[in-house]
């Protein structure tokens, strides 16, 4: 099934604008939590264009990226404010599965489809994009500081069509909050659930391995029951839950104008030449 099919009929009433109740919740509970666990900093806010749409393009880490997403949300609402909308791109299946669907409505996130992007940008709402997706977020821990969008060009196609700038965002430290040991397309097929959720790759995290060993050695019932429990656990997104406190550094770089990235050819070759330039800009922010 085409993942975009999950977004059919989804209506986002206020893209990029979190509900007031969520803003209060983040300020009261989420921000103190991420400050305690990650001692985060967000710099380069002055590089965000004001009153105009853009793509904020970031590297992605730690399976679900929960720590970095919550950290960015808390710092953005604190330092920039909810009056400046920013719509996060999210996988379409989440808009059909409760409670993720309710969370997306509260956050004002939009499905990661061309149609949703066009609608948001035409309304002057910027979009936060993690182009690397599952490919990048499931990379092994020894590649923690490597920016790798996996050759994906969709975000560049969106920026070119809308004529909007790309603003790089480098995030450092997120991958250590939920270390990933293995990344494989075969795992997604063998574990079934990831493929149902529309994920082409899956990984084994350090937390996933530790709990699997505990289940195998100390779990209830026969070895067959334990094997089944291990299979269910390894296919669960909970294996990527952030559990290690680690310092997070978020840096926003200077905008890259569409006229600088694209020569007006309208070809995929043009997009292919722009991709390493954007990756290098994000990588420089991660390495700084």
Mean pLDDT (whole number) for 117-124? 94
Asked if 120 contacts 7 with a C-beta cutoff of 8 angstroms, the reply is no
The domain covering 3-178+245-287 belongs, at the CATH homologous superfamily level, to Glycerol-3-phosphate (1)-acyltransferase (3.40.1130.10)
CA dist., res. 82 & res. 186, Å (int): 41
SS3 readout for 142-181: HHCCCCCCCCCCHHHHHHHHHCCCEEEEEEECHHHHCCEE
Q: Place 186 in a pLDDT band, splitting at 50, 70 and 90.
A: very high
Mean pLDDT (whole number) for 168-187? 96
Minimal CA–CA distance to 147: which of 158, 156, 135?
135
Residue 63 burial (C-beta neighbours within 10 Å; 0-12, 13-18, 19+): buried
Q: State pLDDT tens for residues 40-54.
A: 999 999 999 998 999
| Tokens 């699997």 -> residue | 212
Q: State pLDDT tens for residues 6-20.
A: 667 677 778 899 999
> What's the confidence (pLDDT) of residue 251?
98
> What's the confidence (pLDDT) of residue 3?
63
Q: Write down the domain spans for the chain.
A: 3-178+245-287, 180-239
pTM of the prediction?
0.93
> What's the confidence (pLDDT) of residue 2?
60
Mean pLDDT (whole number) for 137-141? 95
Residues ≥6 apart with Cβ < 8 Å to 68 = 60, 61, 62, 171, 174, 177, 248, 250
Q: Place 225 in a pLDDT band, splitting at 50, 70 and 90.
A: very high
Q: Is the confidence at residue 94, as pLDDT, over 80? A: no
């Amino acid at each position: 099934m085409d993942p975009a099919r999950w977004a059919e009929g989804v209506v986002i009433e206020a893209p990029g604008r979190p509900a007031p109740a969520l803003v209060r919740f983040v300020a009261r509970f989420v921000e103190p939590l991420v400050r305690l666990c990650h001692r985060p900093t967000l710099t380069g806010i002055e590089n965000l264009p004001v009153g105009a749409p853009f793509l904020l393009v970031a590297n992605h880490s730690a399976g679900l990226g929960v720590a970095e997403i919550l950290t960015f949300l808390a710092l953005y609402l604190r330092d920039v404010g909810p009056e400046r909308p920013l719509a996060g791109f999210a996988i379409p299946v989440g808009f059909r599965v409760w409670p993720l669907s309710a969370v997306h409505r509260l956050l004002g996130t939009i499905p990661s489809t061309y149609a949703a992007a066009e609608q948001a940008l035409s309304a002057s709402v910027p979009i936060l994009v993690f182009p690397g997706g599952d490919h990048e977020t499931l990379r092994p821990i020894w590649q923690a500081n490597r920016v790798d969008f996996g050759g994906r060009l969709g975000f560049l196609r969106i920026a070119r069509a809308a004529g909007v700038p790309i603003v790089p965002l480098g995030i450092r430290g997120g991958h250590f909050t939920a270390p990933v040991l293995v990344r494989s397309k075969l795992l997604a097929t063998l574990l079934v659930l990831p493929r149902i959720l529309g994920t082409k790759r899956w990984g084994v995290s350090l937390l996933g391995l530790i709990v699997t060993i505990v289940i195998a050695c100390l779990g209830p019932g026969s070895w067959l029951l334990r094997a089944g429990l291990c299979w269910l656990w390894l296919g669960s997104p909970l294996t990527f839950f952030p559990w290690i406190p680690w310092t997070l550094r978020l840096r926003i770089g200077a905008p890259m104008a569409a006229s600088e990235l694209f020569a007006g050819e309208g070809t995929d070759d043009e997009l292919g030449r722009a991709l390493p330039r954007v990756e290098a800009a994000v990588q420089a922010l991660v390495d700084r």
